[in-house]
Amino acid sequence: MNFEQIYYANSQHKGHFLALITQKKSNESGYYSAYYILTSTKEIWSATKRYTTLEEIDFGKILEQGFASNHKALILLAQHLFMGSTSFDLDHALESWDQISYSVALQAIKLRWTLSRESMEGFLE
């Protein structure tokens, strides 16, 4: 997958995301989609980067912090894409997201789907 060609909310989003995935040695779709969301805004990334490593994303600690409803919905989506949590509520998320948040969410879902397919194809070959 060409990560240079996907949607980014801004240049900082792209820089932070590419820096993380360049360090990650495997193509783990759950991590990539979560990293993508967690690096999407300055507010989210500054509050979550200390709980986001190459080996672990501590959503428990992340969600203990206060976030605006649109950011919290994105973080819950990241958690859902990462570990299949049931806390994500699509109706609530759609009510809170602006166009940028919605575009980030769609791209994160596309990343998870595409990378899952690519890893399955490699596994089946």
What confidence score (pLDDT) does residue 87 get?
A: 87
Q: Name the pTM for this structure.
A: 0.91
The chain-wide mean pLDDT, for the chain, equals: 91
Return d(Cα 115, Cα 70) in angstroms, integer.
25
Give the tens place of pLDDT for each residue, 27-51.
788 999 999 999 999 999 999 999 9
pLDDT along the chain (125 residues), means of 10: 93 96 83 96 96 93 95 97 90 97 97 82 46
What confidence score (pLDDT) does residue 29 get?
A: 87
What confidence score (pLDDT) does residue 124 get?
A: 40
**Cβ-based burial of 21 (10 A; exposed 0-12, middle 13-18, buried ≥19):** buried
Return d(Cα 60, Cα 19) in angstroms, integer.
24
